Amino acid sequence: MKRVLLTGAAGDVGRRITPMLKAAYGDVVLSDLKEPSDTHGLSFVKADLADFAQVAAAVRGVEGIVHLGGYSVEGPWESILSANIVGCYNLFEAARQAGTKRIIFASSNHAVGFYPRSTTIPHDVTVLPDSRYGVSKAFGEALGAMYAMKHGMKVTALRIGNVNDTPLDLRRMAIMLHPEDLMQLIRIGLDHPDIAFEVFYGASNNSRAWWDNSRAKALGYRPKYDSEAKLDAAQKGQALATPDPVGDFFQGGTFCAAEYTADFAALKNWRAPTS
């Protein structure tokens, strides 16, 4: 990659990986609605993802994009639509017009959040979004697949768990993604010669994992961290949580429980589709 763009650079995950991206690729452009407090000497382009012209200016001249930008939690449909649906389309289409070769799309575990915690799922399961936010991430995966197949762009969707070096509770013991392991996944997506369209799980080598990440490992992923080493911290965080029958049953946690009106007893006995 001669030049890499990082969207969402001012967010928590963006701030964590910026120095690693700089070390790996050198010429990195940062973009967000506001400039990060520390740019690490890199150039910054302000861009609202909902404004195609601003996005086009940000992607100009870049060969690879790490797309972390967008609305990062559940929210009103209007907010999700603008940032994560319209904004995601703008990013992919502007990248196509600019001749960008590769995109890493930050999907989310919430695209598959309604799988039970008792089920281990591979990357090619039916999406079961747990929220409007999760729906937007499933959309982004589908959009990435279309741009890969129709236009030859190399696209990797990362269903990210929780980026941290310490799990905040027992749920995040299963889905913790250490920033250094995230950087490994990004480098596979930006550099591996066999990438066409891939879906990887963004998780470290966690002993309590709910996800089969064998496809990422087949392409060279060797995560170094296991959340089990921080069990004490997770237990302390869990002790502060309120019991939640719905959220504690499904992988998506509180995203599943919010606004929930279905017959929980019936869904508990339903067998989710897996390949």
- CATH number, position 224: 3.40.50.720
Asked if residue 119 belongs to a domain, the reply is yes
236 within domain boundaries? yes
Evaluate whether residue 55 is within a structural domain: yes
Rg (CA), the chain: 18
Section 191-218 average pLDDT: 98
Tokens representing 7?
């969207």
Tell whether 168 is covered by a domain.
yes
Percentage of the chain exceeding pLDDT 70? 99
Please say if the pLDDT value at position 144 is more than 90. Answer: yes
Instruction: Report yes or no on 43 lying in a domain.
Output: yes
Looking at residue 1, what is its pLDDT? Answer: 78
Check 25, 71, 133, 147 and give the catalytic one.
133
pLDDT tens-digit readout, 22-67: 999 999 999 999 999 999 999 999 999 999 999 999 999 999 999 9
Known active-site residue 260: no
pLDDT at site 269: 79
Query: Is-above-0.75 flag for pTM?
Result: yes
Q: How far apart are CA 166 and CA 15, in angstroms?
A: 17
Q: Is it the case that residue 254 has pLDDT exceeding 90?
A: yes
The string of DSSP codes covering 104-168 is EEEEEGGGGTTSBTT--B-TTSPP---SHHHHHHHHHHHHHHHHHHHH--EEEEEEE-EE-SS-S
Query: Domain for residue 275, yes or no?
Result: no
Instruction: Tell me, yes or no, whether 274 lies in a domain.
Output: no
Enclosing domain of residue 51: 4-268
Question: If we measure between CA atoms, which residue out of 140, 142, 138, 178 comes closest to residue 161?
Answer: 178
Number of domains in the chain: 1
